[in-house]
Structure 1
Amino acid sequence: MAEIELGVGIVEYRDTGGDGPVMVLLHGLLMDATLWDAVIADVSRSFRVIAPTLPLGAHRTAVHADADLSLAGIAAVTTELLERLELRDVTLVGNDTGGAVAQLVAAASPRVGRLVLVACEAFDNLPPGLTGRTVAALGKLPPGLFRAFMQQMRLKPARRLPIAFGWLTKRGDAATRAWMEPILTRPGIARDAVRALRSLFADRAILLRAAEDLRTFDRPALVVWAAGDRVMPPEHGRRLAALLPQGKLVTIDDTATLIPLDQPARLAAAIQSW
């Protein structure tokens, strides 16, 4: 993992290198860049892949106390990363909350040449479903109490609950266990997580506005959705593909929201064939 000092603080990122076209992969809340490991193993044969670990609760170095951890703030972090690394004509891919961030970045940044939205928050689904509403409620706790409450995430039965990761992934428990470690062991990360939870969902209309902006995104766009998603409504995938001028919809079976964990080969194939 490389590091870069941005306005919010230190951000880690994976860079596969090479001179191929650039793909940037964005993860969701309480996750890190390892969400994409299996996808990267496939697409890195054709792309230079950049996968940052955004300050969304599974990062390893606490950010500045005044860092903006709202959706708009995380989008600004992503845009700054693209600019500092001098990345252009990027294929921007986002899953879960990373897809919400990708919508904001794509609507505003000319550095995005192609957009891939993978089972993500959209329209009025903020916070998303039962899972998102539960996590948002936990953000009201003081950081110390939040960290104490999250200790139960050491146990697989707790992680597999619908209010945790149970409705987000069918096969990715090893990854979700690792994502919890920074919150459980580093007070500064628990503080950042609480700040993010309090900020990310504060503006509940932000993705409705983003959807209107995406109507003018005149570049190639792919929407990939889980057929039976219980957190991100499949209807939202259809609506996103319809409003994007060059939108295309692909539906994948036998997966929950975190398609990069549950069906990485099929996701990689969908992106590369498109």
Structure 2
Amino acid sequence: MPEIELSAGTVSYQDSGGDGPVLVLLHGLTMDGSVWRKVVPGLGEYRVVRPTLPLGSHRGPMHPDADLSLRGLALLVGEFLAALDLEDVTLVLNDWGGAQVLLSEGKAERVGKLVLVACEAFDNYPPGLPGRLIALAARTPGGLAGMMKLSGLRLFRRGAGAWGWMSKRPVPDAVMDEWFRPAKESAEIRRDIAKYGLSLPSKAGLLELSERMRSFDRPVLVVWAKEDKLMPREHGRRLAELFPDGRLVEVEDSYTLVPEDQPELLVRLLREFVPVTAVR
């Protein structure tokens, strides 16, 4: 994969290239761009860019002094868009919702449209029981190392309250092996995860950040899974109502990872929301 040097460190990414409308697809904690592997083939006429954010599945650690807080990572997304000179981007989030802070900070000038797919929102950081367990592990000496040692177990990957709540359909073991390997093998990668997990704002601070997003007046599509175990169903409605040009679509037969559970539907929704013939 190509790499680009940003202020926090080296970020790798996948880029389909081409002259079509630009979609930047973001992933969640201890995942990488392969979470979109079922979606990308249906977007052949678009330029699809998938950075590997420093959220635990990145292959090389960030600088020791890198700001990997919620705000720091959101600004890093903005820096990534600028470094690749991407304009009028459709920014697509799933699971991790932190890039919404770009809107709160008034730094979304390169974002033409926003798609929020079953992601963290309002005060739901980190989300649900799995998120709380990661936060607890980050605060406990050796906690993240212990958690990563368990990552190969079936109970960890498909158990209720663990990764089994991420998708209704099992993610292939080979894919999950690659997601968990960096944090399992590298103390520096675990350090990066801990920096993020230990720096989340208070619930009041998170709600304030959400309220400041109202100023984003460009089109927003909210795609929410009705059966989601981690992202409250009411958050989808609240997000759509928060934005002046927001629209909600609820999805059947899916948990948080809609790109895993309902990829064909998600492709159709993206193509409707960002027509290939759109003026760029």
Which residue is 1:6 aligned to?
6
CA distance in 2, matches of 1:10, 1:179: 18
User: Secondary structure of 1:115's partner?
Assistant: strand
Which residue is 2:135 aligned to?
136
CA distance in 2, matches of 1:118, 1:215: 18
* Structure 2: segments with no counterpart, 5+ residues: 274-280
CA contact (8 A) 1:93 1:102 kept: no
1:145, CA displacement in angstroms? 4.6
User: Secondary structure of 1:95's partner?
Assistant: strand
After the TM superposition, which residues 208-219 of structure 1 pair with which residues of structure 2 at under 5 Å, given as runs? 208-219=207-218
Aligned to 2:151, which of 150, 153, 157? 153
User: Secondary structure of 1:131's partner?
Assistant: helix
User: Secondary structure of 1:215's partner?
Assistant: helix
The one-letter code of the counterpart of 1:28 is: G
Normalised by the length of structure 1, the TM-score is 0.93
1:206, CA displacement in angstroms? 4.2
Which residue is 1:93 aligned to?
92
User: Secondary structure of 1:74's partner?
Assistant: helix
Number of aligned residue pairs: 269
The one-letter code of the counterpart of 2:87 is: R
Greater shift after overlay, 202-211 or 118-127?
Answer: 202-211
CA contact (8 A) 1:106 1:115 kept: no
CA contact (8 A) 1:131 1:162 kept: no
1:252, CA displacement in angstroms? 0.9
After the TM superposition, which residues 152-171 of structure 1 pair with which residues of structure 2 at under 5 Å, given as runs? 152-171=150-169
CA distance in 2, matches of 1:30, 1:177: 11
User: Secondary structure of 2:196's partner?
Assistant: helix
CA contact (8 A) 2:89 2:111 kept: yes
Normalised by the length of structure 2, the TM-score is 0.91
| Offset from partner CA, 1:55-106 (integer Å, 9 cap, x none) | 0011100001111111101001100001111111100000111xx2231124
CA contact (8 A) 1:141 1:194 kept: no
Q: What is the identity percentage for the equivalent residue pairs of Structure 1 and Structure 2? A: 49
The one-letter code of the counterpart of 1:256 is: Y
1:267, CA displacement in angstroms? 0.9
Q: Would you say 1:23 and 2:23 are equivalent positions?
A: yes
CA distance in 2, matches of 1:222, 1:145: 37
After the TM superposition, which residues 229-240 of structure 1 pair with which residues of structure 2 at under 5 Å, given as runs? 229-240=228-239
Which residue is 1:195 aligned to?
195
CA distance in 2, matches of 1:205, 1:141: 24
The one-letter code of the counterpart of 1:189 is: I
Which residue is 1:76 aligned to?
75
Greater shift after overlay, 104-113 or 83-92?
Answer: 104-113
After the TM superposition, which residues 107-146 of structure 1 pair with which residues of structure 2 at under 5 Å, given as runs? 107=104, 108=106, 109-142=108-141, 144-146=142-144
CA contact (8 A) 1:167 1:231 kept: yes
* Structure 1: segments with no counterpart, 5+ residues: none
